[in-house]
Structure 1
């Protein structure tokens, strides 16, 4: 969790720009979506050191929440971004959850790595959002 002076609306706009994720997530080669960003929309991303990952937008509540789901072999990893504004401060919370028979493997291979780099990644995301303003 972190706080910023950026609005929830601006942060939502930044996170919903899926094809621009590699501009702030330096672990990604690319991200692609066909059509509009909406609940149920499928998209694909390619980590720099991994295979393509089939994804989907699973929740969007502008400007407070954006959630995606990664379809991994025998597991699903959900990432929830929440933006809660109070006055001139917005609290950013990112939650990662994994389910499925191989959740314990994907936790060690992907989720823990993401958690370890969360502070740096969030700072890069905030800088990207600020540049959109």
Structure 2
């Protein structure tokens, strides 16, 4: 199993503003420049699915495995011989909103998919979190 986590605190950002952006899956490319597009029909709820298309990559089907409004959600996608989980968490602290993103890859071919996909996804997370927080702060001001 491979895991990488990123956690940052953002003063002046509310969990409500971040949650609104997270649940608006079709507009994720507004703050995630690694995405060409996302397509979701229906509610942002456990077992819901959506398609995302990374820039320069193939379309990927994503499934929401956990959704706790204003607190956390986890999604996953499957590859041949591996599964990649992406855990997103919000925590209010005295210094601001802590946003945490943890990516985990499991399965017999996990090492292969870690090198092909997960490490690149994880590398972009700090940039994406900063852009998400900036957009959330601007929408709240």
Please point out which of 103, 113, 123 is paired with 1:106.
Answer: 113
Cα distance in 1 for partners of 2:54, 2:31 equals 13
Q: Which residue of 2 aligns with 1:76?
A: 83
Cα distance in 1 for partners of 2:22, 2:16 equals 10
Q: Are the counterparts in 1 of residues 37 and 54 from structure 2 also a CA contact under 8 Å?
A: yes
What TM-score do you get using the length of structure 2 for normalisation?
0.87
Q: Which has the higher contact order (CA 8 A, sep 6+)?
A: 2
Q: Which residue of 2 aligns with 1:34?
A: 41
Cα distance in 2 for partners of 1:117, 1:35 equals 27
Q: SS of the counterpart of 1:49?
A: coil
Consecutive aligned runs of 4 or more in structure 1 exceeding 6 Å deviation: none
Q: Which residue of 2 aligns with 1:126?
A: 133
Q: Are the counterparts in 2 of residues 15 and 66 from structure 1 also a CA contact under 8 Å?
A: no
Runs of 5+ consecutive residues of structure 2 not aligned to the other structure: 1-6
Q: Are the counterparts in 2 of residues 53 and 72 from structure 1 also a CA contact under 8 Å?
A: no
Runs of 5+ consecutive residues of structure 1 not aligned to the other structure: none
What TM-score do you get using the length of structure 1 for normalisation?
0.91
**Deviations 1:10-34, CA, capped at 9 Å, x for gaps:** 2122111111111111111110111
TM-fit CA distance, 1:120: 1.4
Cα distance in 2 for partners of 1:2, 1:90 equals 8
